[in-house]
A and B are shown apart, each in its own frame.
Chain A
Amino acid sequence: MDTEYASVITVEALVEGHEILLALDTAASQTVLDLNVLMILGYSASNLGKPFAIETANGMMPVQMAKVKSLSSLGITRAEFDVLTYDFFEKGLVSDQDGLIGLDFFKNTILTIDFQKQFIVVKQ
Chain B
Amino acid sequence: MSTTVAVRFNTDDPNKIEPLLDFVKSLDAVSSVEIASQASDEKVEMPNHAATEGFQSIAEIKRLYPNEWVLLAQTQRDGITILGGIVLLHEPSKRGMALKSYELIKKHEHTSHFYTGELPKHATIGLMRRIK
Interface residues of A (CB under 8 A from B): 2, 4-6, 8, 10-12, 17-21, 23, 25, 27-30, 32, 34, 36-37, 39-42, 52-58, 60, 84, 88-89, 93-97, 99-100, 102
Residues of A within 8 A of B94 (CB): 34, 36, 88-89, 94
Interface residues of B (CB under 8 A from A): 71, 75, 77, 79-80, 93-95, 97-99, 101-102, 105, 109-115, 119-132
For residue B82, which residue of chain A has the nearest CB?
A19
CB distance from A48 to the nearest CB of B (A): 14
> In the complex, A56 Cα to B123 Cα: how many Å?
12
Contact of A95 with B120 in the complex, beta carbons under 8 Å:
yes
Contact of B126 with A19 in the complex, beta carbons under 8 Å:
no
Contact of A89 with B111 in the complex, beta carbons under 8 Å:
no
Contact of A94 with B112 in the complex, beta carbons under 8 Å:
no
Contact of B111 with A39 in the complex, beta carbons under 8 Å:
no
Contact of B113 with A96 in the complex, beta carbons under 8 Å:
no
* A39 interface neighbour in B98, B126, B130, Cβ under 8 Å: B98
Contact of B125 with A97 in the complex, beta carbons under 8 Å:
yes
Residues of A within 8 A of B121 (CB): 4-6, 96
Contact of B127 with A102 in the complex, beta carbons under 8 Å:
yes
CB distance from B27 to the nearest CB of A (A): 26
**Given A34-B94, A94-B119, 9 more contacts at CB 8 Å?**
A18-B112, A40-B98, A40-B101, A53-B132, A55-B128, A56-B128, A94-B123, A96-B115, A100-B125
